[in-house]
Chain A
Amino acid sequence: MKDDTTIRERVLSIFRKMKKLGYYWRLFPAVFWLGFFLVLPLSVMFIYSFWTMFRFELFPTWTLQNYLDIFVRAEGLYLRLLSKSIGMSIAVTLGAIALAYPAAYYISTRGGKYKYVLLALIMTPYMVSWVILIFGWRMVIGYTGLLNAVLMEAGLISEPMRLWGNWMAVIFVLIVSWAPWLVLPIFVSLEKIDRTLLEAGADLGARPSENFRKITLPLSMPGLLVATFFVLIPTFGEFVAPVLAGGASGAMIGTAIEAAFKRMHNWPFGSALSFLLLTIALITSFVLIRKTGLRTLMESL
């Protein structure tokens, strides 16, 4: 009799547990995807970085040569590319935030009932591919582009300026194309600021500029961190803009990685470079996420 109840209880508890676990099947597709298409491929890449490639064939030789090559090959060219890419990424991030901040501020303070329309209008250029945007910019600031044509017509310059095909063009194109995307997170953080704080500041005699510097800017910091996260990481690996707008001086580490895979057919070397870049990117994002907090990141989307 007593056994009977314990068995029944046990069965019931197992059943309850199964029902509880049943909820978790919803996780399965995403976890499978992350495991099989993110962790596994990155591990494959990591393993490749210790192999060698000879005449389009991979050999599992387990060597550190590829990592050494990053430092010695082409007189340290790759290291220079890496530091240059990081520098350019930081410049792009700062520039894009500087462009986006006033726009977000305008929408937040003056948008009225049109706030969300304005945001949507700012996002729409993104429906057009990044490549197409670069193409458009070449029409505008290219050697035979609109800007040169207009300035020549106006007689301000006698021959076209070479604005395209160097590292400045890459930075410019990246800044202008990233800025609209950043308006959103900055806008969200501005919206969350308690307006009464500003009134209190004004009552206590702060000038608008002081109010901005002491209240608005510090409180919008989370948005700026999210924005940094959004630009900095992809720009580390950028290769489209350097290829199309960069010419010789605009090359970045992404260009080198792409070339190692697609043209040099040296996948292990490319993997070693990739892995180095991956480490830098992951550390950066980890630091940024720690600083921002997940909640802010979620709310900015």
Chain B
Amino acid sequence: MLRGKRILSTYFYLFMLVIYLPLLSILAFSFNNSLSAGPPWRGFTLRWWEAFFSDPVAPTAVINSLVVAVSVAVVATLMGLGVAFVLVRRVFRGQNVLLLLLLVPIGVPYLLIGISLFSLLGVELGLELSLFTLAIGHILVALPFSSLVLMARLIGFDRSLEEAAQDLGATGFTTFRKITFPLIRPGIFVSMFLAFIISLEDVVIANFLVGGDLTVPMFVFGRLRLWKGLPMAKALSSFMVVIALAFACFFFIRAILPRERPRLPR
């Protein structure tokens, strides 16, 4: 029994080590004074980082990625809210059809979403491919996740709270602001976080929809595919790794610090 427990926890630490291994090695080797990607270690240098911050393209890629990811998070969550409210609180004909349609983007490989949107927007409508067309695709794939998260949140929602507020004379908007929104806020955060990650890490849809603009994954993908410009890819990747690790530290510290008691909405 005790041995089984020890095996399990050892496994878990190994698992964590393995999933962080690529991130840590990217970070470590971005300080390696060598043109190649990995070992051997040829001494400490900051020159790839300097090159990264003085590069005309690489920082733009970071900004582009963040802009798209934030707008996707916001738009997909707003749309998801609309869908979730109606689907959870109303009964209407065609409800199941809509639900099924909503799930289709998860059931279609991203590659096909990229290709089909490229056929429509780029070829048939002749739009110039840009961050804008990319955001269209990302919103589409983030929408099911946002809607499902928010629906799950709304299903367990006590509606008598809203009714009470309205009985006490609150307008629709006030009720939403003071009662509904605080109660579904965790769902909104999760939805935005998921949509943000889905957009930030995607390269498959971007490969078809981004056109001349660059996002971080596309930048790295291009460099890796051609096996050149590795140092820059290294520095850029490390930059993203630093952002991710910062998030990890944030979660970690928040967990260790004493938690303040959850406040009830006034």
Binding site for B on A (CB under 8 A): 23-24, 26-31, 33-34, 37-42, 44-45, 48, 58, 99, 102-103, 105-107, 110, 113-114, 116-117, 120-140, 142, 144-146, 149, 176, 179-180, 208, 229, 233-234, 236-240, 243-244, 254, 257-258, 261-262, 267, 270-271, 274, 277-278, 281-282, 284-286, 289, 294, 297-299, 301
Whether the Cβ atoms of B85 and A26 lie closer than 8 Å is yes
What DSSP secondary structure best describes chain B's contact surface? helix
Asked if B19 is at the interface (CB within 8 A of a chain A CB), the reply is: yes
Of A120, A136, A284, which is in contact with the most chain B CB atoms at under 10 Å from its CB? A136
Query: Quick one: closest B residue to A288, CB to CB?
Result: B107
Verify B116–A297 contact, CB threshold 8 A.
Answer: no
Among B22-30, B48-56, B158-166, B174-182, the stretch that binds chain A is: B22-30
Report whether A132 and B194 are in contact in the complex, using a CB–CB cutoff of 8 Å: no
- B231 at interface by CB-CB < 8 Å: no
Contacts of B204 in A (CB 8 A): 237, 239-240
With A45-B116, A130-B203 already in contact, the answer to whether A117 and B255 are too (CB < 8 A) is yes
Asked if B229 is an interface residue, CB under 8 A from chain A, the answer is no
Could you pull out 23 A-B pairs where Cβ atoms are within 8 angstroms? A26-B82, A30-B147, A33-B79, A34-B104, A39-B101, A44-B116, A44-B119, A102-B8, A105-B8, A123-B197, A125-B19, A130-B203, A132-B217, A144-B39, A146-B25, A146-B38, A146-B39, A179-B19, A240-B221, A244-B221, A257-B111, A261-B115, A284-B107
Q: A23 to B90, Cβ gap below 8 A?
A: yes
The A contact surface, by secondary structure, is helix
Chain B nearest CB, measured from A69 CB (Å): 17
In the assembled complex, the Cα of A234 lies from the Cα of B37 at a distance in Å of: 28
Question: Is B73 an interface position by the 8 A CB rule?
Answer: no
Given A121-B251, A129-B203, A239-B204, A26-B112 contact (CB < 8 Å): no
Q: Mark B10-50, 1 if CB is under 8 A from A, else 0.
A: 01100110111111011001000000111110000000000
Which chain B residue has the least Cβ–Cβ distance from A126? B197
User: Could you list 20 further interchain pairs (A-B, Cβ under 8 angstroms) beyond the known A106-B11, A123-B197, A142-B37?
Assistant: A26-B82, A27-B86, A30-B102, A33-B139, A33-B140, A38-B108, A41-B121, A44-B120, A48-B119, A102-B15, A125-B19, A135-B224, A136-B23, A140-B25, A140-B38, A234-B109, A240-B221, A258-B207, A278-B112, A298-B149
Kindly state the separation between the CA atoms of A289 and B141 in the bound complex, as whole angstroms.
Answer: 17
Q: Which 8 A-B pairs have the closest CB atoms?
A: A136-B22, A237-B109, A285-B107, A26-B82, A237-B111, A41-B116, A129-B217, A117-B255
- Docked complex: B174-211 residues within 8 A CB-CB of A: 190, 194, 197, 200-204, 207-208
Q: Are B201 and A127 interface neighbours, CB within 8 A?
A: yes
Distance from B227 Cβ to chain A, minimum over Cβ atoms (Å)? 10
B98 contacts A by Cβ under 8 Å: yes
- Max chain A CB contacts within 10 Å: which of B26, B39, B116? B116
A124 and B247 form a contact (CB under 8 A): yes
- With A37-B117, A44-B119 already in contact, the answer to whether A131 and B194 are too (CB < 8 A) is no
CB contacts (< 8 Å) of B123 on chain A: these are: 44, 58, 267
A130 to B139, CA, bound (A): 19
In the complex, chain B residues whose CB is within 8 Å of the CB of A29:
78-79, 82
Instruction: Write the nearest CB–CB distance from B115 to chain A, whole angstroms.
Output: 6
B101 — nearest CB in chain A belongs to which residue? Answer: A34
Q: How far is the CB of B243 from chain A (nearest CB, A)?
A: 6
Judged by a CB distance under 8 angstroms, whether B129 is at the interface is no
Report B121-136 residues with CB < 8 Å from chain A CB: 121, 123-124, 136
Q: Does B265 contact A (CB under 8 A)?
A: no
Q: For the complex, what is the distance from the CA of A270 to the CA of B137, rounded to whole Å? A: 19
